[in-house]
Amino acid sequence: MKELIEYIAKSLATKPDEVSVTEVTDEDGQIVLKLEVAEEDKGKIIGRQGRVAQAMRVLLRVRAVKEDVRASLEIV
């Protein structure tokens, strides 16, 4: 799942070397992916009215269901 989000973010970013994804498991057992990008790339990653970010979250949920886990995405 981490690789999927990283691939999408690097494809969208103008500075792909500054993209980093960290995977953390919270106390409920849910996987939280924290996406960090350069400040000028945040607009591209979030998209108009959050549509790109929402699409990334949907893809993440589909992948999580296939692996039988719960996952969420945070853009930092």
| Sequence-ordered list of residues with C-beta below 8 angstroms from that of 12, at least 6 positions apart, any chain | 41, 44, 45, 52
Q: What is the percent of the chain with per-residue pLDDT over 70, rounded to a whole number?
A: 100
Q: In the chain, what are the domain boundaries?
A: 2-75
Tokens of 29: 């057992």
What is the pLDDT, as a whole number, of residue 8?
Answer: 96
Alpha helices in 1-76 (DSSP H): 2-12, 42-46, 51-66
Note the pLDDT tens digit of each residue in 22-70: 999 998 889 999 999 999 999 999 999 999 999 999 999 999 999 999 9
Q: Is there a contact between 75 and 8 (Cβ–Cβ < 8 Å)?
A: no
The CATH number, out of the four listed (3.60.21.10, 3.40.50.300, 3.90.1150.10, 3.30.300.20), of the domain defined by the range 2-75:
3.30.300.20
The CA-based angle 32-35-36, given to 5 degrees, is 140
